[in-house]
Chains A and B, each alone.
Chain A
Amino acid sequence: MIEFRQVTKRYDSDHTALRQVNFGLERGELAFLTGHSGAGKSTLLKLIMVMERPSAGEVVVGGQVLNRLPRRQIPYIRRHIGVVFQNHQLLFDRTVFDNVAMPLEVMGASPRDTGRRVRAALDKVGLLQKEKMNPMQLSGGEQQRVGIARAVVNKPPVLLADEPTGNLDPALSADIMNLFGQFSQVGVTVLIATHDIALINEMGRRTLKLDHGRLVTGGASVIGGGASGR
């Protein structure tokens, strides 16, 4: 589903964020992405979202090589990728329902369809009762769950999360991780960037570890060759 082939990302001559990163994630696989801050976790996620383009190598998502993707095609790729942020990026000028409905709105889904799918997503994260509230009235954990509902409302095959549990206490974090686990069970490829070593150990999943832009563990399982497995 996601494949990096010899990907290098250089911002300018003296700052290289990623060096020859190789790895592949299968459909329905859940993996953690870890490393010290500045190791290139966000850059890696941005490459998948086509917010950045690699300096060398190829990024493949859903069988499509993103390097040569024309600019106008980018939105259609993003519709297949759900993203969850640490600061969840919710809009406080609209209700929980309208926040979650945004990915459907940009796709031009019909209102009937939108209502059904938004409620399904909110039900999944346990916030069906709060659809009419403003996200500001919700707790941190609830806000994060609204963010997750928004990320999965259009059933994307890929789900990325950048420090999704950064601000949450361990019990809430476990809840959220549980949700991610459920998504991977229904075939969604989930990649979670996190510092939270305890959580990673608890989950016991594949872990990609970055160190100064190099992938030191957990690389290349699809392409074969190189260091593989955890």
Chain B
Amino acid sequence: MAADSRKKSQPARGANKARSPWREQAESYFTHHRKVAEDSARRLWRNPVASLMTWTVMGVALALPVALLLLLTSLQGVSAGWESSARVTAYIELDVPLERARVLSNDIAGDGRVAGVELVDRDQALAEFRASSGLEDALDYLEDNPLPHTLLITPEEGARSTEGVEGLVRFIEGMEGVERVQVDLGWLQRLNAMTDLLARAVWALAILLAAAVVLVIGNTVRLSIESRRDEILVAKLVGGTDSFVRRPFLYTGAWFGLGGGVVALILLQMSLWWLSGPIERLAGLYRSDFSLDGLQFDGALALIIVAMLLGWLGAWVAVKRHLDDMEPGDIAGSG
């Protein structure tokens, strides 16, 4: 940093110990960073109420999009789970005998994309329908069994994507004796479309709130710059570089970010804890294994790092706008 010529020309006092000058420079550089970081943190502690308010604003602004992202991830997990259980139902033409249906079943089972085939013959189907529908009397009036033989096909793991299932459906539809193939993916596609839309909305919200965080921190740091105006002017007067003068405020921004990230984590954990009971009950009613997962360690770490970066960025905006054009000219007196 300081290429101070006079330092070099000093008598060799520093040479009594084996410490190279650049190492001493680096050491004092890091010492200074540590000192500035500690000092900015202490300044925040000294105004606990104001700092806590900023942290809370930041925490709320960060917790909201993160909570929505968590919800979204859980929803996507659910739809993925359902997708894997997608089953294809093939209805055989009414005049096809059971033996022929068995052959079809074996043919389909031989395909690489199919994990298993279950044949439900028409008599069995009628019996089940009679038992579950409560329409026994009505069914008695029918002369013939109106139900066809049915094949319940479970796709292989690899073929469980939307495209894979569609390919499988086309293959089965092309077989002789198959009347109709049904796969209930429509609602799944709708859910996917909805989660996609929700994902975009959440990201848009996240970006807006991140911008808000940057502005809030920027404004707070601006006030802190104003209150330390004298110090800044003197530092510039005695030859402080722009980065020297900026440093404490950038650290302040990062500390605001750290506090905001921690508050966001606390808010998230609290709301998860509060919601976990009702969610379990709701998921139980739908016989779903849906659960709202909190942040893991790496997620929490990422949140805090992002928060610190946002704080730093906010401070940078304030510093760029208010600090760089602060010149000591106006304190040099009149005359």
Residues in chain A within 8 A of chain B (CB atoms):
37-43, 45-46, 49, 51-52, 72, 75-80, 83, 85-87, 89, 91, 93, 102-103, 105-111, 150, 154-155, 162-163, 193
**CB pair B239 A103 closer than 8 Å:** yes
B-side contacts of A78, CB under 8 Å: 236-239
**CB pair B238 A150 closer than 8 Å:** yes
- Mostly, the B contact residues are helix
**CB pair B332 A45 closer than 8 Å:** yes
**CB pair A75 B329 closer than 8 Å:** no
Q: A43-B335, A75-B241, A106-B244 are in contact. List 14 more A-B contacts (CB 8 A).
A: A38-B335, A42-B335, A45-B332, A51-B327, A76-B241, A89-B237, A91-B230, A108-B1, A108-B2, A108-B32, A109-B28, A155-B6, A163-B335, A193-B335
Binary per-residue interface labels of chain B (223-252) against chain A in the complex, 1 for a CB within 8 Å, 0 otherwise:
000000011011111111110100000000
- Which single residue of chain B is at the shortest CB-CB distance from A35? B335
6 A-B residue pairs with Cβ-Cβ distance under 8 Å, sorted by A, are A51-B328, A75-B239, A79-B2, A89-B234, A107-B1, A154-B6
The complex places the Cα of A87 from the Cα of B28 at a distance, in Å, of 31
Q: Which of A45, A46, A49, A106 has the most CB of B within 10 A?
A: A106
**A72-B241, A83-B237, A106-B244 known; A52+B329 contact, CB < 8 A:** yes
CB distance from B45 to the nearest CB of A (A): 16
Q: Which of B236, B238, B241, B331 has the most CB of A within 10 A?
A: B238
The complex places the Cα of A87 from the Cα of B328 at a distance, in Å, of 14
Interface size on B, residues (CB 8 A): 33
Asked if B4 is at the interface (CB within 8 A of a chain A CB), the reply is yes
A-side contacts of B24, CB under 8 Å: 110
**CB pair A107 B334 closer than 8 Å:** no
The complex places the Cα of A114 from the Cα of B317 at a distance, in Å, of 33
Asked if B31 is at the interface (CB within 8 A of a chain A CB), the reply is yes
- Which single residue of chain B is at the shortest CB-CB distance from A153? B238
Asked if B333 is at the interface (CB within 8 A of a chain A CB), the reply is yes
**CB pair B334 A37 closer than 8 Å:** yes
**CB pair A85 B331 closer than 8 Å:** yes
- Which single residue of chain B is at the shortest CB-CB distance from A71? B242
The complex places the Cα of A155 from the Cα of B4 at a distance, in Å, of 11
A-side contacts of B333, CB under 8 Å: 42, 85-87, 162-163
The complex places the Cα of A10 from the Cα of B244 at a distance, in Å, of 32
Asked if B27 is at the interface (CB within 8 A of a chain A CB), the reply is yes
**CB pair A105 B329 closer than 8 Å:** no
B20-37 contacts to A (CB < 8 Å): 24-25, 27-29, 31-32
- Which single residue of chain B is at the shortest CB-CB distance from A52? B329
**CB pair A162 B335 closer than 8 Å:** yes
The complex places the Cα of A111 from the Cα of B29 at a distance, in Å, of 11
A-side contacts of B127, CB under 8 Å: none
A-side contacts of B4, CB under 8 Å: 79, 107, 154
